[in-house]
Amino acid sequence: MPKVLVSDPIDQAGLDILSQVATVDVKTKLPLEELVSIIPEYDALMIRSGTKVTQAVIEAGKNLKIIGRAGVGVDNVDVPAATRRGIVVVNSPEGNTIAAAEHALAMMLSMSRYIPAANKSMKAGDWNRKAFTGVEVYKKTLGVVGLGKIGSHVATVARAMGMNLLAFDPFISSDRAEELGCRLVEMDLLLSESDYITLHIPKTPETANLINADSLSKMKPTARIVNCARGGIIDEEALAKALTDGVIAGAALDVYSQEPLGESPLRAVDKSLVLTPHLGASTAEAQVNVAVDVAEQIRDVLLELPARSAVNIPGLRPDVLEKLRPYLQLAETLGNFVGQLAGGRIEELNIRLQGELAENDTKPIVIAALKGLLSNALQERVNYVNASIEAKERGIRVVETRDTTAEDYTGSLYLSAKGSLGQHSVTGVLLGGTEVRIIDMDDFPINVPPTKYMLFTLHRDMPGIIGKIGSLLGSFNVNIASMQVGRKIVRGDAVMVLSIDDPLPAGILEEIKKEPGIRDAYTVAL
């Protein structure tokens, strides 16, 4: 039975799901050395923000198939190292959306009315209304940096509160921004015109210290900023100085460049700064949501099913995955098929997508074809995560072409593999949206469903040859499930496709090749 290590606290609902398919060990607050020492015995690792999954952990995890982060950010996981090892990394991009958005809104309102400072004053026995005169958000301008799910929800609620909305997001269309009531602008304009700024972007090399001394100087002296996204987007020393010097009026932070927050100039700032200890996802509902979401994905991967929110499988978002699932099966099957036909070291893979296949997001289909191509050689070591890397490291040249026109079928996939032993091609389609059919092999027309064991012959189209092969197989107690012949011209070359119940006994393939009229013979096991 697979084993799962849960190294950060998660809701019991998640543990219950994992327990359906695996032995679950909950060991929290592990030192790095201990985590490295025990991770080899586990098939999956489930974490939150506390555990740092370094390259050392990943290299030690010889059996790891998946790392699940119960939350949005995966900056505590060395994703490139996991990808290279073929380990799926998943998160819960929607599980804490509402919680994070509501916290950002709560921070904006609380710093506007000095609620934390007023609460502290009241509990100290004071009654000082004048010291806590705040400002209203109504009719103020809110600048939303990042219009993803969380930023979009903040924008929707802020609009309902009567705020005017600006947005900066280079990856979103103007139409989508307008749907949310936002006007897309450049970052400098957002900084200078906003009364409030809320950040909803990941931390990347491009966004690190995005809010610094220079950008703070461009803001209104009455402006206030909220960061409930990721630590490190704001230069904390510059922010503390800007608040102390009155460059801006206020800030509210839930995330920090180093967590837990240690010695920091932020702690000395007066009532203009509100600090919370990374509470964005800390609601009872969000904890259940992210635990269930990630636990289900870990369960699925352990059952050899795709993960719906893998961060290191390009293009396989839940909606995309569901649409492409039959095509991925088609591509993987054909890749495996043509890889066995070509044999030896594969040098080049040509992929042609035709009809409706060419209209889809093709990158996952290419990845699936590569996985199939390499699966015979690499077995379980190749998957959707590392297939592209494995192909590149083996010097396999991938050529992709698209043709949106359709002939006999609404969509088809053609693969041609060139290897050290020759070149072969195969074309496949989906019948009824789900059934894989091979309709061409090496330019010979056929129409067969792929089966577990298959025998192919290239032979002269001549009387009696099919009967001879059937008799030879019968003499070795090989049962034929189905048979089909494809040819281009009468009495020319032809191919014969046999589905057989069991693998060919040793030596029979060479006997088949000795038969008069047989030019070549191949076996494929899918």
- Convert 324-388 into a string of H (helix), E (strand) and C (coil): HHHHHHHHHHHHHHHHHHHCCCEEEEEEEEEEHHHHCCCHHHHHHHHHHHHHHHHHHHCCCCCHH
**Residues 152, 105 contacting (CB under 8 angstroms):** no
pLDDT of 310 higher than 60? yes
The half-sphere exposure of 423 on its side-chain side, counting CA atoms within 13 A, is 8
Instruction: Give me the percent of the chain exceeding a pLDDT of 70.
Output: 96
Query: Is there a catalytic annotation at residue 510?
Result: no
Residue type, 418: K
Catalytic residue of the set 85, 230, 424, 459:
230
In angstroms, the Cα distances linking 494 to 441, 464, 483, 519 are: 11, 13, 13, 10
pLDDT of 322 higher than 70? no
Query: Is there a catalytic annotation at residue 183?
Result: no
Q: CA-CA distance, 68 to 452, in Å (whole number)? A: 33
pLDDT of 380 higher than 60? no
Residue listed under structure tokens 């088609």: 330
Beta strands (DSSP E) in 120-279 are 141-145, 164-168, 182-184, 196-199, 224-227, 250-253, 273-275
385-399 per-position pLDDT tens digit: 778 877 886 778 999
pLDDT at residue 406 in the model? 67
Catalytic residue of the set 113, 159, 278, 394:
278
pLDDT of 114 higher than 70? yes
Instruction: Give me the percent of the chain exceeding a pLDDT of 90.
Output: 65
28-83 per-position pLDDT tens digit: 999 999 999 999 999 999 999 899 999 999 999 999 999 999 987 788 999 888 98
- In the DSSP assignment, the letter for residue 273 is E
Q: What domains, with CATH codes, occur in the chain?
A: 3-94+286-302 (3.40.50.720), 97-275 (3.40.50.720), 316-450 (3.30.1330.90), 452-526 (3.30.70.260)
Catalytic residue of the set 179, 259, 359, 435:
259
Q: CA-CA distance, 162 to 305, in Å (whole number)? A: 46
Residue type, 165: L
Q: CA-CA distance, 460 to 250, in Å (whole number)? A: 84
Model pTM score: 0.62
**Of residues 49 and 173, which shows the higher confidence score?**
49
**Residues 187, 168 contacting (CB under 8 angstroms):** yes
Q: CA-CA distance, 459 to 486, in Å (whole number)? A: 10
**Of residues 479 and 434, which shows the higher confidence score?**
479
pLDDT at residue 173 in the model? 77
What are the backbone dihedrals phi and psi of residue 132, each rounded to the nearest 5 degrees, phi first? Answer: -125, 35
124-168 per-position pLDDT tens digit: 999 999 999 999 999 999 999 999 889 999 999 999 999 999 999
pLDDT at residue 390 in the model? 78
pLDDT at residue 113 in the model? 97
Mean pLDDT over the full length of the chain: 91
pLDDT of 379 higher than 80? no
Query: Is there a catalytic annotation at residue 230?
Result: yes
Q: Which residues contact 31 (CB under 8 A, 6 or more apart)?
A: none
Query: Concatenated DSSP letters for 221-259?
Result: TT-EEEE-S-TTSB-HHHHHHHHHTTSSSEEEES--SSS
pLDDT at residue 248 in the model? 98
pLDDT at residue 249 in the model? 98
494-503 per-position pLDDT tens digit: 999 999 998 8
196-227 per-position pLDDT tens digit: 999 998 887 789 999 999 999 999 999 999 99
